Structure 1
Amino acid sequence: MLPWQDPGLAPAERAAALLAEMTLEEKAAQLGSHWHRASDKPVDDEVETHDVAPMEHAFKSHQKTWQQAVVNGMGHLTRTFGTDPVSVPEGLARLASRQADVTAASRFSVPALAHEECLTGFTTLGATVYPAAIAWGATWRPELIREMARAIGEDLAAVGVHQGLSPLFDVVRDYRWGRVEETTGEDPYLVGTVGTAYVQGLQAAGVHATLKHFAGYAASRAGRNHAPISMGRRELEDIILPPFEMAVREGGAKSVMNSYCDIDGVPATSSRWLLTEVLRERWGFEGPVVSDYWSIEFLTKTHRIAQSPAHAAALALRAGLDVELPATGPYGHLRSAIEQGLLDEATVDTAVLRVLTQKAELGLLDEGWEPLQGTDSERDLDSQHNRDVARRVAEESVILLANDGILPLASPGRVAVVGPVWTDVRSYMGCYAFPNHVLSRDGGKETGLEIDRLDDVLPAALGGDVSFAAGCGFTDGTDEQLAEAVELAASADVTIVTVGDIAGMFGIGTSGEGCDVADLRLPGRQGELVEAVLATGTRVVLVLVTGRPYALGEYAGRCAAIVQAFMPGVEGSDVLARVLTGELNPSGRLPIGIPSGHGAQPGTYLAPSLGWFSDGISNLDPRPVFPFGHGISYTSFRLNDAAVSALEIPVDGVVNYSVTVTNTGDRDGSETVQLYLEDPWAEVVRPLKQLIGYAKVDMAAGESRRLTFEVHADRTSFTGTDLQRIVEPGEVLLSAGHSSEDRLDGLAVVLTGERRVVGEGRVLTTPVTFG
């Protein structure tokens, strides 16, 4: 047995032994990858109608053939299951064949690491599509997302996949950005806790998670995909980086992916400050950083800071970016970069050591390793267990925004259902769900899954006279369609208007990667449909199935009820029907605000005084119609008897904040108790309020529970005038609330002592106990 094959040695020790035997070309091969299609035909011959990665056609046109790419081995196999529609046996056969080629080409028989997309479930044919990530945030239930991610990871592991390119830790800064659906919200603590739970669940199944996109991606100017990031160091440190830090320090994340964007002129792809100083030196991350697809080539093609592929490779590798995905491009020029003096081989060695260590951890260097060992050719990727988890995530994510008492629909009489959502179940899925990501390439509506539409389940659920008309499509519609829906609504006692998004890529959709919007009007003619139905005088229940928040100020006071679902996945129809009929008591809470006006307002709730409503300063009011954290249900809750354990604590101390929550209604339900921090006076401008803790509590009718939040002084820290993280002495206010705008009066706690610089390893969470 060779040293690197010995599982008795530490993975890093095994990797170092193998590295010492490799030539430069063999090392470079470990930093590359290949995206293998069914054939290596020229790009013009491929049967595709749109890209599934940025500038895909432009980059893959010069991609090496499989035979060229596999010489000397390979680092990663890109999306063996997720590129084309394949069954589990077909995908396993492809994987085995490609791994056989890789190991045969490697002098040391080192296999490639297989990665796949898995944000809303395994992105492959026939796999369960779970609710979109923005719906995870709406659950406010990290333990449920951990369970979901474990189910996803078990499916990936069962077919030989080693790494999942999920989840996103981007904090939403502009609702117009197309990838809002892929995030878990606009608050760093919510994003961090929910995302970290996903990481823990996926890795508990033996699959390495990948944090993305590091960092700042969601703050692009005007919400345009890949646009520059105009952000100072303080906002980056206090809003953007904390979720990633939590996932590294507390989630033990195994891999990280860079962002496409530049921050103040420096692309994340080539930022040593981000990829080495912050990620590795400050946070202690030891795993590999993989490139977002073709982002190293972006240094030459779009950022234009590298004059050649060798130059781009040197910039990325020196910054700390280890593996090039989805196919080897600039990293095929490492020898040239070294010969030109742009790079030294020691830097290459550092990256290769990380890659080989990861392979050792995953067992890929073990003697006798086989590509299909432990796999299951009969794996059901849409099992009943998966469906149960998907249903429970959907159940806890649906948000009742407003209700004048019309819901639940107990005896609704004649019901009209209009709008495009009920006509196409793909509206329940995000852009990285296989039906929208791959199957939609040919313009069809196939999903490869058994999914009920609303018209399949709602008539039986309501038990009455239910009629359906589309009224319009997601982005189109005729006057005749609109007139038909209005006529149907006018004759009904209640009209359910179903509006929302159809996810896609790069403009082929209303939500998703590259599907950015100029403003927050409902897409296409959907707003016109809502207005026309409201004009009939019929009572309207507005149901939104979306990937981003749309402006509802002009409708909110005129609808009898409003239900918000964020792409609820394969069980969406059943869950929505049960919410509307009252069988299910909705418990979701907003992970993002719902804006009032549709104008281009990028602001979130994390605003200072002058970023909020400023009477006498600006005529524009940025406050949302429904704030971050909002949500009601078919019961009611009261918060009272708030108390703190001390009126003063040292700047490194701990205070407990306790509050009683009571279900004051007549049915069981769940309330999310949210704890906010206010910092009235600080050396830099601070948000008016910021979430620092939360707990979702299941309660029987009439039940009361006492919650205690343990707040370390570190949780009040921020980046000071000298760009150091500090805890500042002085008064802070703690308040529990039902939302960011519905809170109890703040209780003052004074931090005593000297201004404290907070070192690395600070307290990142706020534990909650129940009395």
Structure 2
Amino acid sequence: MTLSEKIAQLQQLAPAFYEGSNSAGQITGPLEGMGMTEEMIHHAGSVLGLGGAEEAIAIQDAHIRNHRLSIPLIAMADVIHGYRTIFPVPLALGCSWDMELAKRSAAIAAKEASVAGIHVTFSPMADLTRDPRWGRVMESTGEDPWLNSQYARAFVRGYQGKDLSKEPYKLAACIKHFAAYGAAEGGRDNTVDMSAWMSREYYMPSYRAALDEGCEMVMTAFNTVDGIPASGNRRLMRDLLRDEWGFDGVLISDWGAVKEMIPHGVAEDERECARKAIEAGVDIEMMSPCYVHHLQELVESGEVDEALIDEAVMRILKLKRKLGLFENPHRYADPAVERDILLSDEHRASAQEAAIKSSVLLKNDGILPLSKLAKIALIGPFALSNDLLGPWSCMGDREETVTLSQGMIAIAGQPQVTATGCSVEYMTDLELEAMLAAAREADVIVLALGESSEMSGEAGCRADIRLPGMQLELVKQAKALGKPVAAVLFNGRPLDLHGVLDEADAVLEAWYPGSNGGSAVAELLYGVANPSGRLTMSFPHSVGQVPVYYNGFNTGRPQGAPDAQLRYVSQYLDIPNEPLLPFGFGLSYTDFQYGEAALSANELSVGGKLLVSVRVTNAGRLEGEETVQLYIRDIAGETVRPLRELKAFEKTALMPGESKDIVFEITEEMLRYHHSDLQYKSDPGQFAVMVGANSRDVQELRFILKA
């Protein structure tokens, strides 16, 4: 390959640039805007965001015909929570606490995307998220590093299978956003500043877990790390990711992130961006032209070693070989199979199951489940809305989405359910009166509330995380009618729920539940299914409390300490320190009771194990599933330690009256953490172990780790 051909392999472009694209008529605009020549396009290495199998085949055929060496393209896309069959958003899937479900959702997404001509997905997102103001919390699985790590592994297994080169209908996964993108300052893209210790202890584990599972690619984050944008951060990408962790896969920038070093203020021009990115180890530049415009002159001037370009190209070619593209450039792209499996009944059923298991019952004063005989007024902005897919819904089609009204009518019948809606952020007087008129005639009012998908996701950051004011007014007026009121929430972040949680008799958090979301929520409301989801992000009392998360530190003056003066402690004067709804929280239509927890011994030796056991009983009248959670606290460490950390959980289904002994195993490895010198090890001493239904409602026992 010539130097210019090698450099072109590092360029990723949108389909509009390529011959064979469905949007070929728009090629002039992108060409002019990025200054791309035909030679650059003909030798580019990858494409993102294809529109289906026919376009994928046409673009690939034309590209191979135009490429001097007939090297095929890699096709990549944002297949985040489904391709055509849309599953609940990742934050919702996280609330299922079900790794097999997460794996299956990724496998179905991979199957649909692969027959549509996609080879790589920009998923999973393993960013730890503690700030619900940030729009992209919907794309994460929550605020706990250990649980996020389990999900990262599960998604990678689902996308890639056991052997990407041999298993059919699989995608290469790309973990993102490396690194610490979820710690965006003020909940707004994209400044991050934290210590190396904080990064290692909380933000890095889930990325590392995905790589340990064999994830093929890594995407750089938009944000700064230690004052340097990630795409030009040599210490982060070469020293940590490449050298220390041994990652030898493909590293890709996020959209335009290489060129964004200019507005970040660490590069004067595109030439400097190209030099810094290639020196940092970025293999593919997504949708900015710094590499193709400047790397050749940087090599010829001696400022960049050509070996850096060679190693980047070799990593890309190795991935193409692993994907089998040299033998079969179309891979699994097949319009006939695409038509057969996309949004199939089987895939819809899996998406519906996922939506059921992802929804979280936040409150129930006995009005749920609904009776099929009751007359229901379904009112609010999501009563008739098909905006249930959420951001990053790939090729999902709202017109193919089951709405809540459709789901409820399918169960209870048209005469029993009256649906009247309005917009998300405003309603006319006529709409309000129509909704209240229906409510006056009903036995129970179901309020369908939430955020439009545009209010969440990338660029969906919000300083005020309450529902729009008109929705809170609707809640208030519905409650004034004196009827039982149940609220269903469709949203992509934890919300400040004052005005909803205190007014409604029942609250069900449905998130953005996907293609069959309306059917899933209806089954939960009518008791066809029993809610089993548990929160993986805390819900704050108010935005002034953010970031608020369950595994915080005690501080030197903790609230409630026996010897603390009432005022001079770490506290708010106007709200509690604790979140409104804690991590791990979720209710059921049945009642789970916990017996007294017990330890098998009071001491743990290195190489040994302790057992902690508790009996859980279904004391209600319905079958249900409980998520029993285990937390540990290191009472005194070399650095400060959190008040509790999730270390294990077990989901158990129990019939009415049935009991089960849940047993967890504790080993020394579970007690390790990063010390001030970044060594990862445990300390002998006293530990607390907690077991219960969520991070707040636990029983505590003590044991000693012996040296």
Q: Assess same fold via TM > 0.5.
A: yes
> Number of paired residues?
682
Q: Give the CA deviation at 1:516.
A: 0.8
- d(CA) in 2 for partners of 1:60 and 1:720? 51
Question: Partner letter of residue 271 of structure 1?
Answer: N
- The equivalent of 2:134 in structure 1 is 177
2:95 equivalent to 1:138: yes
Match of 1:575 among 520, 539, 542: 520
Q: Give the CA deviation at 1:664.
A: 2.2
Q: Give the CA deviation at 1:558.
A: 3.1
Q: Give the CA deviation at 1:524.
A: 5.0
Question: Partner letter of residue 193 of structure 2?
Answer: S
Indicate conservation of the 8 Å contact 1:399/1:589, yes or no. Answer: yes
Match of 2:447 among 497, 502, 509: 497
- The equivalent of 2:536 in structure 1 is 591
Indicate conservation of the 8 Å contact 2:383/2:448, yes or no. Answer: yes
Indicate conservation of the 8 Å contact 1:396/1:586, yes or no. Answer: yes
Q: Give the CA deviation at 1:146.
A: 0.6
1:462-477 paired onto structure 2 within 5 Å: 462=412, 465-470=416-421, 472-477=422-427
- d(CA) in 2 for partners of 1:199 and 1:329? 31
Match of 1:342 among 272, 286, 303: 303
- d(CA) in 2 for partners of 1:404 and 1:212? 41
1:679–1:60 distance in 2 versus 1, CA, 3 Å? farther
Match of 1:354 among 312, 315, 324: 315
Q: Secondary structure at the match of 2:423?
A: coil
- The equivalent of 1:188 in structure 2 is 145
Indicate conservation of the 8 Å contact 1:496/1:540, yes or no. Answer: yes
1:79-98 paired onto structure 2 within 5 Å: 79-81=49-51, 91-98=52-59
2:604 equivalent to 1:604: no
Q: Give the CA deviation at 1:717.
A: 1.9
2:382 equivalent to 1:408: no
- d(CA) in 1 for partners of 2:610 and 2:311? 44
Q: Deviations over 1:513-569 (max 9, x none)?
A: 101111221135212222222233322111111111111244323321111111111
Question: Partner letter of residue 5 of structure 2?
Answer: E
1:606-755 paired onto structure 2 within 5 Å: 606-610=551-555, 616=567, 617=569, 618=571, 619=573, 620-651=575-606, 653-744=608-699, 746-753=700-707
1:504-583 paired onto structure 2 within 5 Å: 509-523=454-468, 525-583=470-528
- d(CA) in 2 for partners of 1:109 and 1:685? 57
1:513–1:370 distance in 2 versus 1, CA, 3 Å? closer
Match of 1:101 among 59, 62, 65: 62
Q: Give the CA deviation at 1:106.
A: 3.3
Q: Secondary structure at the match of 1:578?
A: helix
Unaligned residue ranges in structure 2 (runs of 5+) = 17-21, 162-168, 561-565
- The equivalent of 2:285 in structure 1 is 324
Question: Partner letter of residue 701 of structure 2?
Answer: L
TM-score, scaled to structure 1: 0.84
Q: Secondary structure at the match of 2:350?
A: helix
Q: Deviations over 1:410-449 (max 9, x none)?
A: 26643222110122111x112111478xxxxxxxxxx364
Match of 2:343 among 356, 364, 382: 382
- d(CA) in 2 for partners of 1:425 and 1:354? 42
1:132-281 paired onto structure 2 within 5 Å: 132-204=89-161, 205-226=169-190, 228-249=191-212, 251-281=213-243
1:609–1:456 distance in 2 versus 1, CA, 3 Å? same
- The equivalent of 2:247 in structure 1 is 285
- d(CA) in 2 for partners of 1:286 and 1:154? 26
TM-score, scaled to structure 2: 0.91
- d(CA) in 2 for partners of 1:434 and 1:163? 13
Q: Deviations over 1:222-271 (max 9, x none)?
A: 11122x1132222211111111111111x211111111000231111112
- d(CA) in 2 for partners of 1:145 and 1:590? 16
- More divergent stretch after superposition (509-518 vs 455-464): 455-464
- More divergent stretch after superposition (488-497 vs 150-159): 488-497
Unaligned residue ranges in structure 1 (runs of 5+) = 1-21, 47-58, 82-90, 437-446, 504-508, 754-771
1:277–1:431 distance in 2 versus 1, CA, 3 Å? same
- d(CA) in 2 for partners of 1:287 and 1:555? 47
- d(CA) in 2 for partners of 1:182 and 1:270? 24
1:70–1:691 distance in 2 versus 1, CA, 3 Å? same
Question: Partner letter of residue 49 of structure 2?
Answer: R
* Identity fraction in percent: 33
- d(CA) in 2 for partners of 1:690 and 1:93? 49
- The equivalent of 1:296 in structure 2 is 258
- The equivalent of 2:33 in structure 1 is 62
Question: Partner letter of residue 569 of structure 1?
Answer: G
Question: Partner letter of residue 67 of structure 1?
Answer: E
- d(CA) in 2 for partners of 1:414 and 1:132? 31
- The equivalent of 1:450 in structure 2 is 400
Q: Deviations over 1:120-149 (max 9, x none)?
A: 211xxxx11111111110110001111111
Indicate conservation of the 8 Å contact 2:119/2:172, yes or no. Answer: yes
- d(CA) in 2 for partners of 1:373 and 1:185? 33
- More divergent stretch after superposition (302-311 vs 112-121): 302-311
- d(CA) in 2 for partners of 1:115 and 1:188? 27
Q: Deviations over 1:17-43 (max 9, x none)?
A: xxxxx2222221221122122446679
- d(CA) in 2 for partners of 1:634 and 1:177? 32
Indicate conservation of the 8 Å contact 1:519/1:600, yes or no. Answer: no
- d(CA) in 1 for partners of 2:264 and 2:590? 53
- More divergent stretch after superposition (286-295 vs 724-733): 724-733
Indicate conservation of the 8 Å contact 1:149/1:198, yes or no. Answer: yes
Question: Partner letter of residue 25 of structure 1?
Answer: S
- The equivalent of 2:164 in structure 1 is none
Q: Give the CA deviation at 1:741.
A: 0.4
Indicate conservation of the 8 Å contact 2:103/2:154, yes or no. Answer: yes
1:99-138 paired onto structure 2 within 5 Å: 99-122=60-83, 127-138=84-95
Q: Deviations over 1:698-717 (max 9, x none)?
A: 22222223333333322222
- d(CA) in 1 for partners of 2:350 and 2:279? 42
Task: Give the superposed CA RMSD.
Answer: 2.4
- The equivalent of 1:86 in structure 2 is none
